[in-house]
């Protein structure tokens, strides 16, 4: 049995709700109460809020709906792998690009080394968010990858709108925002040579019900349950919708590229017509954000007129 299988079994029992004693959990798994207590500490280390009451046992502070490989696979044509505990779903697919078919998906409940752009950390507590990646072989090659991350962002926001989850916005090039707080990030990574088809992995981290006590995030963040107000969100259904949306968007991008895309982006741009700073290496350029152009470059109204900026090393920051 893998080291974390015991913890997953304990979590499965706890996710049914109510209290479960160390004795009951131990009997079920054929291990001692002391061993259960050690595993509970490990589970807490994954970011799950479990508390214990003497004489009653352990309970989850908030219910968790686990992802279900069977439900996901039955509702998707894609090849789906749910790997509950992983380093990074993007890395998992990148390591296997030679044997995967386009559209293959990897999902996780917890990432030990979830990452954002330029190696920054993506904080990935167990069972409270969505972490998913899709592999795609892009005939247009690596030059088309920036456009891809913009197009995917718009499609995801539109899919949320279709579910009645409105007011989600975009920050160039790869973030979803809600009320000026980061709700999700999209990370496009690739392997391949210039001129040849590119092996692309598109990863998305979407916060659903992350605990306020979560450590390690250095900027304001939001969860989808704030956006949803009282509407219930089924995690498996949401994952299915996100995967279907990603697949459809990649198909369409291969066929139509970015035609007609600028207006769609600009409607959802969180910073349009607001004062911003662009960070390009050690250089800072200030101006008013004016959305994007047809190449997917960010537009900035500066003292020198309207300027466009494109490239992977640029970060946009609000000045308000």
Q: Does 12 bind ligand ATP (CB under 6 A)?
A: no
* Contact positions vs ligand BTN (CB under 6 A): 88-90, 111, 114-117, 122, 131, 133, 174-175, 185-187, 203-205
Q: Is 12 annotated as a binding residue?
A: no
Active site residue 182: yes
Q: Which two tokens stand for residue 191?
A: 């392997």
Between helices 145-162 and 235-256, what is the axis angle to 10°? 140
Q: Does 259 bind ligand ATP (CB under 6 A)?
A: no
- Collapse the DSSP code of 271 into the 3-class scheme (helix H, G, I; strand E, B; otherwise coil) and give the result: coil
What is the DSSP annotation of 59-122?
EESS------HHHHHHT-SS-EEE-SEES-HHHHHHTTTTTPPTT-EEEESEETT-B-GGG-B-
Q: Does 143 bind ligand ATP (CB under 6 A)?
A: no
Within 10 angstroms of residue 310's Cβ, the number of other Cβ atoms is 13
Q: Does 310 bind ligand ATP (CB under 6 A)?
A: no
Q: Is 199 annotated as a binding residue?
A: no
**Of 57 and 205, CB closest to ligand ATP:** 205
Q: Is 90 annotated as a binding residue?
A: yes
Q: Is 182 annotated as a binding residue?
A: yes
CB of 7 to ligand ATP, least distance (A): 21
Q: Is 75 annotated as a binding residue?
A: no
Strands 110-111 and 168-171: unpaired
Burial of 130 by CB count in 10 Å (0-12 exposed, 13-18 middle, 19+ buried)?
buried
CB of 89 to ligand BTN, least distance (A): 4
Active site residue 33: no
Binding at 315: pick from ligand BTN, ligand ATP, none (beta carbon under 5-8 Å per type): ligand ATP
- Closest C-alpha among 273, 193, 239, 245 to residue 74: 239
Q: Does 207 bind ligand ATP (CB under 6 A)?
A: yes
Q: Which stretch binds ligand ATP (CB under 6 A): 77-85, 119-127, 238-246, 282-290?
A: 119-127
Active site residue 171: no
Rounded to whole angstroms, the Cα distance separating 51 from 134 reads 35
- Per the residue annotation, which of 117, 169, 235, 290 is the catalytic one? 117
Q: Does 116 bind ligand ATP (CB under 6 A)?
A: yes
Q: Does 185 bind ligand ATP (CB under 6 A)?
A: yes
Within 10 angstroms of residue 249's Cβ, the number of other Cβ atoms is 21
**Of 43 and 246, CB closest to ligand BTN:** 246
**Of 58 and 110, CB closest to ligand BTN:** 110
- Per the residue annotation, which of 169, 182, 235, 290 is the catalytic one? 182
Q: How many residues does the chain have?
A: 320
The overall longest dimension of the chain from CA atoms, in Å, is 73
Helical spans, DSSP H, in the chain:
5-14, 22-29, 33-45, 69-74, 89-94, 145-162, 224-227, 235-256, 261-268
Q: Does 123 bind ligand ATP (CB under 6 A)?
A: yes
CB of 233 to ligand BTN, least distance (A): 18
CB of 209 to ligand BTN, least distance (A): 16
Q: Is 89 annotated as a binding residue?
A: yes
Rounded to whole angstroms, the Cα distance separating 169 from 171 reads 7
Return residues touching ligand ATP (CB under 6 A): 116-118, 120-123, 174-175, 182, 185, 205, 207, 217-219, 221, 315-316
Residues carrying an active site annotation: 117, 182, 317
């Amino acid at each position: 049995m893998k080291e974390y299988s015991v913890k997953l079994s304990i979590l499965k029992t706890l996710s049914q709700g109510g209290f479960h004693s160390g004795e009951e959990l131990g009997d079920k798994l054929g291990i001692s109460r002391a061993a259960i207590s050690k595993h509970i500490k490990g589970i807490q280390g994954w970011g799950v809020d479990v508390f214990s009451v003497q004489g009653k046992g352990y309970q989850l502070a908030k219910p968790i709906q686990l992802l279900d490989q069977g439900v996901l696979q039955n509702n998707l044509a894609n090849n789906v792998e749910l790997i509950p505990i992983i380093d990074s779903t993007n890395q998992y697919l990148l390591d296997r690009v030679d044997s995967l078919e386009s559209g293959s998906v990897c999902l996780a409940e917890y990432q030990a080394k979830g990452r954002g752009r330029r190696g920054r950390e993506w904080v990935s507590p167990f069972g409270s968010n969505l972490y998913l990646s899709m592999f795609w072989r892009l005939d247009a090659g690596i030059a088309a990858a920036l456009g891809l991350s913009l197009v995917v962002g718009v499609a995801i926001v539109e899919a949320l709108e279709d579910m009645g989850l409105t007011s989600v916005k975009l920050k160039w090039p790869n973030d979803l925002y809600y009320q000026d707080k980061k709700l999700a990030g999209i990370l496009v990574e690739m392997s391949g040579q210039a001129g040849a088809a590119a092996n692309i992995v598109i990863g998305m981290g979407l916060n659903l019900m992350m605990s306020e006590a979560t450590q390690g995030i250095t900027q304001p963040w939001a969860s989808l349950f704030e956006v949803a107000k009282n509407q219930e969100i089924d995690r498996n259904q949401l994952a299915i919708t996100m995967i279907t949306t990603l697949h459809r968007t990649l198909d369409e991008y291969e066929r139509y590229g970015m035609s007609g895309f600028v207006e769609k982006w600009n409607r959802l741009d969180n910073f349009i017509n607001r004062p911003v700073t662009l960070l390009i290496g050690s250089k800072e350029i200030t101006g008013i954000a004016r959305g994007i152009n047809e190449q997917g470059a960010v537009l900035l109204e500066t003292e020198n007129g309207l300027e466009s900026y494109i490239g992977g090393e640029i970060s946009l920051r609000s000045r308000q």
